[in-house]
């Protein structure tokens, strides 16, 4: 039985600096549970002074511990032990995660924690395999490209998958030999603290992994601008990504990895092999975490011949959702993170309806009576590419539908003026699939499937306004290294 009482669930609070929990030094922020809207904690907001303390601790640990200077295999061993501990403590971690996030406890246990542990193991394995390169030179010269850690990497995470996003950010930075300061989202701040405690238990030197809590404008900004930070790795909205680029530019030109928003198309051709499978894939991509997923497949572009049949199947799947509090085992449909975010979703939907769009299903809030924010699975038809619902990231369970007759029209509808995070293509025709892959400007294109599973083995990252650089894959470890070129002349 996975059900738990949210009022009787212990969780750590505070910042995590130099290997221990640290109390706040200033203002605090009320934190609400999305499932029932209740305030359940006060989160300390790290001031610039506290951020300085965390970065200084990270710098000292980077210089004095053997994390960066010892054998990379040694830190790999600690990271693997850490992954084991995450699995050993999965029940406790899942409760902390489910308590204050949109993630149902069953999904955290079945998906998020195994993913986080395996993802850490993958990055641990990269630690002693990505040292650099030997260049082709004359035989009396030696050309080396040496990978080195940056020192302190500032990592900033969003709220939609707190544990997996934290691991995605910190795993490659640590494997590359850096020390890390993480700022989790102020809406989901606590599970990362338990991860940090387990890292110490696994043998990670104190100060290598630190956490500062707080808002983006105070804590996040101070972290990005700190002169002791060598690189910034951020996941969140495109707007914040732009603010972080500005902060980087104004504080010494720090390299940035930015994983940002999206408005990803799913292009379904009439010859797709199995329409039931396509429907399941599309429903999962927009209903999983109630659409609060960067790669949500939120724009369905479907060949007219199969539109009616596909929409019918998607709406049947949408009827099977089980909304409820994240602490109930039976829940399979997430709450929306906050009341303001639900109001934003609803206002975009109502504007679309006012402009001539139609709700094939949904189009309203779900009233569960417990005070949480829930939104009905919504499929909008009769929309055009100019409408806000089709153009802007909604970050909710809202699928827009546009129909096409021929391939060129479908590809034109799939293109987006600024986002390029991900896309799906469904067809049984290999040549058509590959033409679509070439045409679509997105960092990831899935063919006859959609969404991440254990994809930490391949890089992810957006084009255009969806980001810069790569997370996941060995490329993520390389993104947390800088490469020094060395030329040695040993001619007689």
The first and second tokens of residue 87, run together, are 């699995």
Buried b (16+ CB within 10 A) or exposed e, 362-385: bbebbeeeeebbbbbbbbbbbbee
Instruction: Give the footprint of ligand NAD on residues 371-400 (CB under 6 A).
Output: 393, 395
335 binds ligand NAD (CB under 6 A): no
Q: For the residues of 87-109, what is the DSSP string, one character each?
A: HHTHHHHHHHHHHHSS--HHHII
Residues 284-303 that bind ligand NAD (CB under 6 A): 294
Q: Are strands 419-420 and 374-375 parallel, antiparallel or unpaired?
A: unpaired
Q: Which two tokens stand for residue 221?
A: 């900004």
The reply on whether position 261 binds ligand NAD by CB under 6 A is: yes
Residue of closest CB approach to ligand NAD: 216
User: Which residue, 282 or 294, is less far from ligand NAD as judged by CB?
Assistant: 294
Spot the catalytic one: 259, 312, 358, 388: 259
Q: Which of residues 209-248 bind ligand NAD (CB under 6 A)?
A: 215-217, 220-221, 224, 235-237, 240, 243-244
With binding defined as CB under 6 A, does residue 45 bind ligand NAD?
no
CA–CA distance, 208 with 79 (Å, rounded to integer): 12
3-state percent breakdown (helix, strand, coil) of the chain, nearest 5? 40, 20, 40
In the annotation, is 409 catalytic? no
Is 294 an active-site residue?
yes
CB of 468 to ligand NAD, least distance (A): 11
CA distances from 156 to 37, 214, 241, 333, 475 (A): 25, 11, 10, 26, 19
Query: Is residue 475 near ligand NAD by the rule CB under 6 A?
Result: no
The active-site residue, picked from 119, 294, 393, 478, is 294
Binds ligand NAD by CB under 6 A, chosen from 158, 177, 205, 297: 158
Cα distances (Å, whole numbers) of residue 412 to 176, 256, 364, 435: 41, 31, 30, 13
Task: Classify residue 66 by burial, with Cβ atoms within 10 Å: 0-12, 13-18, 19+.
Answer: exposed
Report how many residues bind ligand NAD under the rule CB under 6 A.
Answer: 30
Shortest distance in whole angstroms from residue 466 CB to ligand NAD = 6
Minimal distance in Å, beta carbon 368 to ligand NAD? 23
Binding site for ligand NAD (CB under 6 A): 156-160, 183, 185-186, 215-217, 220-221, 224, 235-237, 240, 243-244, 259-262, 294, 393, 395, 421, 462, 467
What are the catalytic residues?
259, 294
């Amino acid at each position: 039985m996975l059900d738990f009482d949210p009022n009787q669930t212990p969780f750590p609070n505070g910042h995590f600096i130099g290997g221990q929990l640290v109390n706040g030094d200033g203002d605090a922020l009320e934190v609400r549970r999305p499932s029932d809207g209740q305030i359940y904690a006060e989160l300390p907001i790290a001031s610039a002074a506290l951020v300085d303390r965390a970065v200084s601790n990270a710098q000292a640990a980077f210089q004095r511990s053997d994390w960066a200077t010892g054998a990379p295999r040694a830190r790999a061993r600690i990271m693997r032990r850490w992954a084991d501990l995450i699995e050993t403590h999965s029940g406790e971690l899942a409760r902390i995660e489910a308590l204050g996030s949109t993630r149902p406890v069953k999904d955290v246990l079945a998906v998020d924690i195994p993913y986080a542990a395996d993802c850490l193991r993958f990055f641990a394995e990269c630690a002693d395999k990505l040292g650099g390169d030997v260049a082709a030179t004359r035989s009396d010269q030696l050309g080396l490209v040496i990978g080195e850690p940056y020192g302190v990497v500032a990592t900033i995470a969003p709220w939609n998958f707190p544990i997996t996003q934290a691991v995605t950010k910190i795993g490659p930075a640590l494997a590359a030999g850096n020390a890390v300061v993480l700022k989790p989202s102020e809406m989901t701040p606590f599970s990362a603290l338990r991860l940090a405690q387990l890292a110490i238990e696994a043998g990670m030197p104190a100060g290598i992994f630190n956490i500062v809590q707080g808002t983006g404008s105070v804590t996040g900004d101070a972290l990005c601008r700190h002169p002791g930070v060598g690189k910034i790795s951020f996941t969140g909205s495109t707007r914040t990504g732009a603010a972080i680029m500005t902060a980087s530019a104004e504080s010494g030109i720090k390299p940035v990895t930015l994983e940002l928003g999206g408005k990803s198309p799913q292009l379904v051709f009439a010859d797709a092999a199995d329409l039931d499978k396509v429907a399941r894939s599309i429903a999962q991509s927009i209903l999983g975490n109630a659409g609060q997923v960067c790669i949500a497949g939120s724009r369905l572009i479907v060949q007219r011949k199969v539109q009616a049949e596909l929409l019918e199947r998607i709406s049947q799947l949408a009827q099977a959702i089980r909304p409820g509090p994240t602490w109930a085992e039976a829940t399979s449909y997430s709450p929306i993170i906050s009341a303001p975010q639900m109001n934003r979703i609803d206002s975009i939907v109502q504007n679309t309806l006012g402009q001539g769009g139609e709700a094939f299903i949904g189009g309203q809030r779900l009233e569960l009576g417990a005070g949480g924010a829930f939104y009905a699975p919504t499929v909008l038809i009769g929309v055009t590419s100019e409408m806000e619902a089709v153009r802007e990231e909604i970050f909710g369970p809202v699928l827009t539908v546009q129909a096409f007759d021929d391939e060129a029209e479908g590809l034109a509808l799939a293109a987006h003026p600024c986002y390029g995070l991900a896309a799906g293509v469904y067809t049984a025709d290999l040549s058509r699939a590959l033409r679509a892959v070439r045409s679509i400007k997105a960092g990831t294109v899935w063919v006859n499937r959609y969404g991440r599973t254990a994809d930490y083995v391949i890089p992810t990252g957006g084009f255009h306004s969806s980001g810069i650089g790569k997370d996941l894959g060995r490329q993520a470890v390389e993104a947390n290294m800088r490469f020094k070129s060395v030329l040695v002349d040993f001619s007689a």
